[in-house]
Amino acid sequence: MRALLDALIFLCSDMIMLNSLYRLYGIYFDRSVVNRRKEYLAYGAYWLIHFLNYDLVGLPLFHALGTGVSLLALAFLYPGRFSGMLVRVFSLICLLTLCEVTTYDLLGALRIPEETTSSMRALLSQLLLFLISLVLKQGHTSQPSSQISRLYWLAMLALPSGTTFLLLLCREYAHLSAMVILLIICILFPLNLLTFYVLDRLEAYSASYDKVELLTRQNQAYRAEFELMRQSERQIRSLRHDMKNHLAALREYAAQGRLDQVEQYLNAFDRKLIRPGFVHTGNLDIDSILNYKLGQAEAAGARLELDITLSEGFTVNSFDLNVILGNLLDNAVEGLAGSGDKWLALSLKADRGVFFLKLANRYDGVTLQMDGPDGPAYRSRRKGKDHGLGLSIVRRVVEQYHGQLWIDSAGTVFTVEIMFYLEE
């Protein structure tokens, strides 16, 4: 009975290890171009080889060589240079070794009987690897929803830990019949696999939903920019239609020597030719989002102060730019609504590979500082479960560029400053 339970415990630990490796390879390699069916078959073959090699053969040296070769073979599924594959696979082997050595020393310090140590070490080392893979994945891909994040961590840690505890209990209480133990295992294994799959799909859905929201915001900005372009085109057409009348009036003023009237007429003519909008940097992404949001601020009665200087050839990821500018200006427009002195100042500079933004606006002076998973976030008293998440989202984007974000809410002026280095 104990031999059967030990084999089942090793089987469980191998399944946990397979899930951990799948996550780690997703961090180290680009799996977007890999055929999923081929990938799943390769991981299934790795699990079978590992189970037969270690759990049945049991030779340590043969197991170590087999693990290294199998991990390297998995790396060939993904694009990349051979040298880079070797470095990544070596780091994975070091991580696996670290987990096994840590659990071995821990169980030795606790003086657990030798007959129990082998199976416990296998499970605990893989649980440790599983926890490390979760932490690394959370650092690699941000979670847009704190509710999903809490559910994710609770389920991912509770289910395999609970399964491990139940298996060890079954192993210790030998009076349980083999049929009962087999029934417990047949229930727990599919439950774990199904939960992993559902939570992974939930995580992917949450990321897709966030991208859709960003696309919606970007499309709104583009529509606003196209509307400004149409307004400019209509004005130009109107001027062309009236060009003969304008030229006739200018000739009459010139013939009469009324040069001051000519100057006034030309100034009025020039003002009509000016393109509508607040910002004209030549970068469509920046012009779209800024003109759209600044138009909302002006409609709210804001007095605008703009200082925008961008170097020629300035480029930045459109999604990230829309997230930063859109969320910050949304918060600023909302803050203006509760202020008597509606003032907004925006400074935007990009030069020599450095991006700098400073946005200041008047508000009612009431903020709430929260200590959340992404650091402090400020929001007003307006109700709504999704309200106040803008700065938290901006903070995540800035951290992706290894930049800095500073917030100051002294008095009735709310100021946000951002600095990060641009990708070359």
Same domain as 318, residue 394: yes
With cut-offs at 50, 70 and 90, classify the pLDDT of residue 242.
Answer: confident
Residue 404 DSSP label? E
Residue 413 DSSP label? E
C-alpha span between 139 and 402 (Å, rounded): 13
Structural domain count of the chain: 2
Same domain as 289, residue 208: no
Establish if 230 belongs to a structural domain.
Answer: no
* pLDDT number for residue 417: 94
* pLDDT number for residue 231: 67
Range of the domain at 149: 2-214
Same domain as 313, residue 201: no
16, 22 Cβ separation under 8 angstroms:
no
With cut-offs at 50, 70 and 90, classify the pLDDT of residue 398.
Answer: confident
Q: What is the mean pLDDT of the chain?
A: 74
Exposed e or buried b per residue across 79-89, where buried means at least 16 C-beta atoms within 10 angstroms of its C-beta: eeeeeebeebb
* pLDDT number for residue 92: 86
Does position 256 have pLDDT exceeding 50, yes or no? yes
| Window from 84-93, 211-220, 327-336, 397-406 with minimum mean pLDDT | 211-220
Strands 303-310 and 343-351: parallel
| Window from 78-82, 175-179, 400-404 with minimum mean pLDDT | 175-179
β-bridge mates for residue 372, sequence order: 375
181, 236 Cβ separation under 8 angstroms:
no
Same domain as 166, residue 290: no
Tens of pLDDT, residues 281-319: 777 777 777 887 888 888 888 889 988 887 766 667 766
Nearest to 104 by CA among 60, 153, 45: 60
* pLDDT number for residue 364: 75
Q: HSE on the CB side for 4, CA within 13 Å?
A: 10
* pLDDT number for residue 358: 94
89, 75 Cβ separation under 8 angstroms:
yes
Q: HSE on the CB side for 211, CA within 13 Å?
A: 6
What is the rounded radius of gyration, in angstroms, for the C-alpha atoms of the chain?
31
- One-letter amino acid identity for 332? A
What percent of the chain stands above pLDDT 90? 4
- What is the rounded average pLDDT of the residues 73-89? 87
Phi-psi region of 353 (alpha: psi -120 to 50; beta: other; left: phi over 0): left
Establish if 84 belongs to a structural domain.
Answer: yes
Cα–Cα distances (Å) from 64 to 54, 56, 68, 373, in that order, read 9, 14, 6, 39
Same domain as 311, residue 168: no
Tens of pLDDT, residues 381-390: 444 444 445 6
Alpha helices in 111-177 (DSSP H): 114-140, 146-172
Same domain as 393, residue 309: yes
Domain boundary among 197, 214, 231: 214
For Cα atoms 99, 105, 107, give the angle at the middle one, nearest 5 degrees.
100
161, 127 Cβ separation under 8 angstroms:
yes
Tens of pLDDT, residues 128-138: 888 788 777 76
With cut-offs at 50, 70 and 90, classify the pLDDT of residue 4.
Answer: low
With cut-offs at 50, 70 and 90, classify the pLDDT of residue 368.
Answer: very low
291, 228 Cβ separation under 8 angstroms:
yes
Same domain as 185, residue 37: yes
Establish if 202 belongs to a structural domain.
Answer: yes
With cut-offs at 50, 70 and 90, classify the pLDDT of residue 164.
Answer: low
